[in-house]
Amino acid sequence: MEYSGQYDSLSSALADCFGTAAQITNRSRVSGGDINDAWCLSMSDGSRLFLKTNSRRNISFFRTEWNGLQAMREIGAVKVPMLYAAGTDVDQSFLLMEWIENGRPSRQYMENLGRALAHMHMAESPGDGRYGFSEDNYIGATVQHNAWDFSWINFFREQRLEPQIQMAAAWFDRNQSRKFIYLMDHLDHWLTEPDKPSLLHGDLWGGNVMAGPDGEAVLIDPAVYVGHSEADLAMTQLFGGFTQDFYRAYDEECPIDSTYSERRDLYNLYHMLNHLNLFGGGYLGSVIQILNQYV
């Protein structure tokens, strides 16, 4: 299902998706991250829906989220929320999707998630062997550049690290700036070209995984692109929350290279730079620590 942002009101979207009898009986705010407002809509038939809203000019947040979730859904390996409608309504934009009832994780929750992610990474990805995505999207509130490239190393240099380093340049002293130049010029000393491109969630930390009503993992809030599968794995280790059962099961389905740990922090430098650019100097130490590991 391609992105459909033609709705000019939430009421018309509800009528089109659920019939003219569908009415909202209650609208309550729920936690939904720092970027969008999030709501639980209680409907007249007893069902519930999840609604995200933002300013009208920020409809691109929802267009890109829709396309990212849909790309993962088409592969079919991981669970993602059902998408219903998106559009604009008076002074806001909106994204309407399935309400995921929080469940208790099953006994094999992490193991099943590891296998599902491995299967997504091993599946045929869009892009005809290239790295990137069909459009730029967002990593948090930052534009994430996704111009197609046949080289993973070149893509990671030009579309991931370079924009973030340029935005963060004022934080670095002269010596640190020189180190960044060296790192970028010698990125192929550490990074490797994968055997095949993989579709990635792109923002795979614990807060973007939830247990659904059946106790199995549902992935939300993606920053999807085609890249090296190791980049997704690296982010699962950035803030913790993923158990050894997850990595064991992933490795059984899609063997993790024995030298992956040598590259892990370099992948996460992208996310630490983004946190520095979004949230300020509290992340500077982490950025410099990673930089000093490699230069």
pLDDT the model gives residue 111: 98
Q: Parallel, antiparallel, or unpaired for β 198-200 and 209-211? A: unpaired
d(CA 166, CA 254): 35
Same domain, 288 and 185: yes
Find out whether 126 and 146 touch, Cβ atoms under 8 Å: no
Domain membership of residue 104 (yes or no) is no
Same domain, 94 and 191: no
> Known catalytic residues?
203
Domain membership of residue 252 (yes or no) is yes
Domain membership of residue 158 (yes or no) is yes
Residue type, 259: T
Tokens of 28: 């309550």
Residues 6+ apart with CB under 8 A from 295: 179, 180, 182, 183
CATH number reported for the structural domain that contains residue 163 in this entry: 3.90.1200.10
Same domain, 83 and 178: no
Same domain, 79 and 119: no
pLDDT the model gives residue 32: 67
CATH number reported for the structural domain that contains residue 91 in this entry: 3.30.200.20
pLDDT the model gives residue 1: 57
Residue range 234-258, pLDDT digits in tens: 999 999 999 999 999 999 999 999 9
Of the three residues 50, 70, 98, the one that is the final residue of a domain is 98
CA 71 to chain centroid: 12
Per-residue H/E/C for 201-248: CCCCCHHHEEECCCCCEEECCCCCEEECHHHHHHHHCCCCCCCHHHHH
- What total of structural domains would you count in the chain? 2
Same domain, 91 and 114: no
Residue range 9-33, pLDDT digits in tens: 999 999 999 999 999 999 999 986 6
| φ and ψ of 127, to 5 deg | 110, 0
Domain membership of residue 120 (yes or no) is yes
pLDDT the model gives residue 156: 98
pLDDT the model gives residue 31: 82
Find out whether 235 and 268 touch, Cβ atoms under 8 Å: yes
Same domain, 93 and 232: no
pLDDT the model gives residue 36: 92
Domain membership of residue 2 (yes or no) is no
d(CA 225, CA 233): 14
Question: At how many degrees (to 10) do helices 229-236 and 244-253 cross?
Answer: 170
Same domain, 66 and 132: no
Find out whether 8 and 88 touch, Cβ atoms under 8 Å: yes
Same domain, 148 and 89: no
Same domain, 239 and 156: yes
Same domain, 195 and 263: yes
pLDDT the model gives residue 215: 97
Q: Measured on CA atoms in the order 5, 100, 90, 59, is the torsion positive or negative? A: negative
**Helix or strand or coil: residue 268?**
helix
Same domain, 260 and 117: yes
pLDDT the model gives residue 234: 98
Of the three residues 78, 98, 118, the one that is the final residue of a domain is 98
Of the three residues 55, 72, 98, the one that is the final residue of a domain is 98
pLDDT the model gives residue 34: 75
Find out whether 208 and 221 touch, Cβ atoms under 8 Å: yes
Residue 294: closest CA among 260, 256, 265: 265
Domain membership of residue 4 (yes or no) is no
Tokens of 113: 């998630």
Same domain, 119 and 50: no
pLDDT the model gives residue 33: 67
Domain membership of residue 87 (yes or no) is yes
Domain membership of residue 193 (yes or no) is yes
Q: ∠ CA(196), CA(200), CA(205), 5° rounding?
A: 140
pLDDT lower than 70: segments of the chain: 1-5, 32-33
Which helix (H) or strand (E) covers residue 267, if one does?
Answer: helix 261-279
What's the pTM? 0.95
Residue-range definition of the domain harbouring residue 278:
109-294
Tokens of 164: 């973030």
